[in-house]
C-alpha cells in the first residue's frame, strides 16, 4: 500500500525541483556593431548608473524591460544582486539626490531588441529564448 504522506512529499519535492530548473537564462544584448566585452560587474555598474560609457568611448544607453516582467526580477537578482524593491529604493535615492535617472523601460523583449538594434550604444537584456540575429549577446546570466 502506498503511503499518502510519502507520495505528497515526493510530489512537493519534484515540484520544487521543476520550478528551479525553469528559471530563464537572461542575455544582456548590445547592438550588432558594438564590439564591447562586458563582465557581470560592468553590467551591474551600467544598470546602476555608475558606468556611463563603453570602453570604446560611446555613451551607454541602457534600457530595462517593464518592472512587471519576470525577466526584470531575474535580471535584478542575477546581475545587480538586488531584489526589485531594493533597485527601486536605490533609484529613488539617486533621483532625489540628483545623481541620476534609471534606465528607460520598454514593455517587451521585442521592443528591447528593436531599440538596441537601432542604437549602436544601447544595451538591454532579454530572455535567452528570444535571442535572434537582430542583436548580439554580450553576457549570459
Interval 104-136: pLDDT, tens:
999 999 999 999 999 999 999 999 999 999 999
Residue 1 lies in a domain: no
Instruction: Give the Cα separation of 106 and 59 in Å (integer).
Output: 19
Q: What is the mean pLDDT of residues 32-39?
A: 93
**CA nearest to 28, candidates 114, 106, 126, 111:** 126
Mean pLDDT of the chain: 88
In the chain, the number of structural domains is 1
Tens digit of each residue's pLDDT (9 = 90 or more) over 45-76: 999 999 999 887 889 999 999 999 999 999 99
Residue 96 lies in a domain: yes
Q: pLDDT above 70 covers what percent of the chain? A: 84
Residue 13 lies in a domain: no
Residue 57 lies in a domain: yes
Given a cut of 50, whether residue 21 has pLDDT beyond it is: no
Instruction: Give the Cα separation of 81 and 118 in Å (integer).
Output: 29
Residue 126 lies in a domain: yes
Q: Which domain holds residue 96?
A: 24-140
Residue 38 lies in a domain: yes
CATH number of the domain at 41, please.
3.40.190.10
Residue 10 lies in a domain: no
Residue 14 lies in a domain: no
Given a cut of 70, whether residue 2 has pLDDT beyond it is: no
Amino acid at each position: 500500500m502506498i503511503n499518502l504522506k510519502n507520495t505528497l512529499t515526493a510530489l512537493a519535492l519534484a515540484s520544487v525541483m521543476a520550478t528551479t530548473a525553469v528559471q530563464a537564462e537572461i542575455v544582456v544584448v548590445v547592438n550588432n556593431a558594438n564590439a564591447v566585452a562586458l563582465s557581470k560587474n560592468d553590467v551591474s555598474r551600467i544598470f546602476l548608473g555608475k558606468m556611463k560609457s563603453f570602453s570604446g568611448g560611446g555613451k551607454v544607453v541602457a534600457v530595462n524591460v517593464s518592472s512587471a516582467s519576470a525577466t526584470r526580477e531575474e535580471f535584478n537578482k542575477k546581475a545587480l544582486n538586488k531584489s526589485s524593491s531594493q533597485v527601486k529604493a536605490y533609484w529613488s535615492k539617486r533621483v532625489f539626490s540628483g545623481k541620476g535617472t534609471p534606465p528607460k523601460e520598454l514593455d517587451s523583449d521585442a521592443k528591447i531588441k528593436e531599440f538596441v538594434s537601432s542604437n549602436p550604444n544601447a544595451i538591454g537584456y532579454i530572455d535567452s529564448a528570444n535571442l535572434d540575429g537582430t542583436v548580439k549577446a554580450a553576457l549570459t546570466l
